[in-house]
Amino acid sequence: MIDAGTYGGINWTDLSTPNIADATHFYRDLFGWSITTLKTPMGDYYVGNADDFEAAGMMGQDPDSQATPACWTTFVYVEDIDATVTRITGAGGSILTPPFEIPGGAKVAVVADPTGAMFAVMAGGERPSGAYLSTEPGRVCWFELMTRDTTAAEAFYSAAFDWKPVTEPTGTGTEYTVFKLADEDVAGMMEMPAEVPAEAPAHWTPYFAVDDCVHAERRALHLGGKGLVPTMQIEMGRFAVIEDPTGAKFNLMDAVTA
């Protein structure tokens, strides 16, 4: 897996939700996270820790953004935020929130690719080290883009971050693309399934590793989540798609196969 400090790699994900209390309780109980609360000028920021590793962040939405659905955001780590924003717009992407500084000195911009998938770019601050993706339970093990225009997405991410798309058949009549950077896997991409409602936008989704996908799915439902895709076997292993009690979607995957 790619190192978290590699420019152009993915090194963080966080949840924006209208109900932060329910969200923190849900993920704490589902993944066994300990929750650290950080006071920031933008409000309290909650970090979910898998053992001693900071796995993901969570934050309540600004009152002015309450109409925005809860969602997980994928962060790409870059060297220069302004230069990256220029590359993104030049590649056909759009800027949803211009660069702004966050606690710790880093700068973040919220953007969207030409197919409508929202994500964020981050630069500066303390440069991370070590692998962010992991098969350890409770940690993020993969990121995946679902879009209705894989050709446009391939061109965009290649131009914006120098990602190389490698596409192969899955054996089920579909194709799966793995984006690579310097020969290391960065993320995956697949075409939006036909059964997904037309109004559902292209989106990035994190996968969280769990000891047992079936057990974790049942636990998520018991805690108030909703099962969108029940545990199923694919070439990579068993996975499930869950919606948390506040409406944010994420994926589970067996740690032994993640």
Q: When comparing pLDDT for 217 and 3, which is higher? A: 217
Q: What is the pLDDT of residues 71-88, one digit of tens each?
A: 999 999 999 999 999 999
pTM of the shown model = 0.95
Q: Where does a domain end: 96, 123, 150? A: 123
Q: Could you give the CA distance from residue 242 to residue 220 in angstroms, rounded to a whole number?
A: 8
In a domain, 3, yes or no: no
Q: What is the pLDDT of residues 16-42, one digit of tens each?
A: 999 999 999 999 999 999 999 999 888
**Predicted pLDDT at 104:** 86
For all residues of the chain together, what is the average pLDDT? Answer: 94
CATH of the domain at 38: 3.10.180.10
In this structure, are 102 and 76 located in the same domain?
yes
Per the structure, the count of domains in the chain is 2
In this structure, are 250 and 144 located in the same domain?
yes
In this structure, are 170 and 93 located in the same domain?
no
Q: What is the pLDDT of residues 164-180, one digit of tens each?
A: 999 988 867 789 999 99
In a domain, 92, yes or no: yes
Domain that holds residue 64: 10-123
In this structure, are 85 and 148 located in the same domain?
no
CA angle 201, 134, 114 (to 5 degrees): 25
State how beta strands 107-112 and 118-123 pair. antiparallel
Q: Could you give the CA distance from residue 186 to residue 57 in angstroms, rounded to a whole number?
A: 20
Q: How confident is the model at residue 198 (pLDDT cuts 50, 70, 90)?
A: confident
